Structure 1
Amino acid sequence: MPTKKRGYHHGNLKQALVEAALELIEAKGPTGFTLSEAAKQAGVTPAAVYRHFAGREDLIAEAARQGYEIFADLMEHAYEKGQPSPLASFEATGRAYLAFARKFPGHYISMFESGISINRNPDLAHVSARAFATLERAAESLMSELPEDRRPPARMVSAHVWAMSHGVVELFSRGSPGTKSPFPPEDLLESGIGIYLRGLGLIKPDA
């Protein structure tokens, strides 16, 4: 359990509570703590929480929203960094997913493992859509290199790679103790994407 006690300064109570919740989520899971614990971790009274959040789910939703903001920025940066190669941009967005999960575990859990719907509030829906749109844009650019009659929907391709990235993270990067791959997560994802793209004809088979 985290031992670091956070205080807050004028006008920063809401963020202090989010940061306290992120530590608790990482240590105990999204359902393993109470609002009172979050308040104590932030150095405030339980009643103070209700100035900003109606309940624990609202607090987790805000942590998820902030996570999606970071995530969307990372995805967009990865996409732009890979330009002008559509393949490089596409692969970079997948690697950005792994990097985010590793660097921001509390946010990642809030976003993908808490059961909080991305449609819980308009701000959360908007920023999550921005993250998904970047991967879809990368897929669309890559699919444009295929003949039109052999071109799968970009949304489907982006969903496949999203699922592949998520699976690698869940099983081999953040997975249960003892569930370890003999290969680094980045290598697993890169080889998986390579096989997928070869099947589409976007990468030539190995000689």
Structure 2
Amino acid sequence: MAKAGYHHGNLRQALVEAALKRIEEHGPTGFTLSEAAKDAGVTPAAVYRHFAGREDLIAECARQGFLIFGDVMEHAWSGGQPSALAAFGATGRAYLAFARKFPGHYVAMFESGIAVNRSPELAQAADRAERVILRATEALSRHIPEGRRPPASMVAAHIRAMSHGVVELYARAPGTQAPYAPEDLLESGIGIYLRGLGLLPPDG
């Protein structure tokens, strides 16, 4: 590909796309800005018109990922499910679907070490996605008697941790032989958790 230099039509987004591919294949520390520039078809010097360094580029990948993630979770939560419980389950499945479809974004968001408060724009995008999960948890928690109701933020943290664990162990790692489908693992794990809170009837 010929070097396009400063005349590249949308250099900033081309660099983001190049970085996402590199992140997916090599991890967030497995590439240089020069390599991303080469993939985008521009000179390394052109990168610095848009990003101060590799971490800034990864942070932009994360910001765009949180925007997509927020849309995906919002759609799952408010997509016409018949109950808060059904909608809650839909958000869990959406979490897995996002990790599979947007692996570069997922790694930039959750595994790159980039703090969400690195920039106001990144923090705002991350907060929006967080609030969708929290709303789903709050709606479900209303069915627990107040005296036995854990903080919704704690329940949300538990569910996020479980979802992330299933993604890391069984949904993204190449060649992983999962004992069960990741969707089934997550659904059963969430079911056990919700049953412990009294939100689902006992088995059998």
The Cα shift of 1:175 comes to: 2.8
Deviations along 1:178-205, one digit per CA (max 9) or x if unpaired, are: x432200000000000000000000001
Q: Which residue of the other structure, out of 171, 183, 186, is the alignment partner of 1:186?
A: 183
The separation in 1 between residues aligned to 2:14 and 2:3, in whole angstroms, is 7
RMSD: 1.9
Provide the aligned length of Structure 1 versus Structure 2. 203
Cross-structure match for 1:195? 192
The separation in 1 between residues aligned to 2:196 and 2:203, in whole angstroms, is 12
Q: Which residue of the other structure, out of 50, 58, 62, is the alignment partner of 1:60?
A: 58
Q: Which residue of the other structure, out of 23, 26, 40, is the alignment partner of 2:24?
A: 26
Q: 1:114 to 1:7 in 2, by over 3 A?
A: farther
Q: Which residue identity is paired with 1:132?
A: E
Q: Which residue of the other structure, out of 112, 115, 134, is the alignment partner of 2:113?
A: 115
Cross-structure match for 1:46? 44
Q: Which moved more, 1:78-87 or 1:16-25?
A: 78-87
Q: Which moved more, 1:180-189 or 1:7-16?
A: 7-16
The separation in 2 between residues aligned to 1:113 and 1:147, in whole angstroms, is 37
Runs of 4+ in structure 1 over 2 Å off: 4-11
Contact 2:4–2:43 (CA<8 Å) still a contact in 1? no
Deviations along 1:65-84, one digit per CA (max 9) or x if unpaired, are: 00000000000000002544
Unmatched 5+ stretches in structure 1: none
The separation in 1 between residues aligned to 2:120 and 2:182, in whole angstroms, is 33
Do structure 1's residue 78 and structure 2's residue 83 form an aligned pair? no
The Cα shift of 1:32 comes to: 0.7
Cross-structure match for 1:95? 93
What TM-score, normalized to structure 2?
Answer: 0.94
The separation in 2 between residues aligned to 1:175 and 1:24, in whole angstroms, is 16
Contact 2:77–2:91 (CA<8 Å) still a contact in 1? yes
Q: 1:144 to 1:50 in 2, by over 3 A?
A: same
What TM-score, normalized to structure 1?
Answer: 0.93
Unmatched 5+ stretches in structure 2: none
The separation in 1 between residues aligned to 2:195 and 2:15, in whole angstroms, is 47
Q: Which moved more, 1:85-94 or 1:56-65?
A: 85-94
The Cα shift of 1:91 comes to: 1.1
The separation in 2 between residues aligned to 1:141 and 1:64, in whole angstroms, is 28
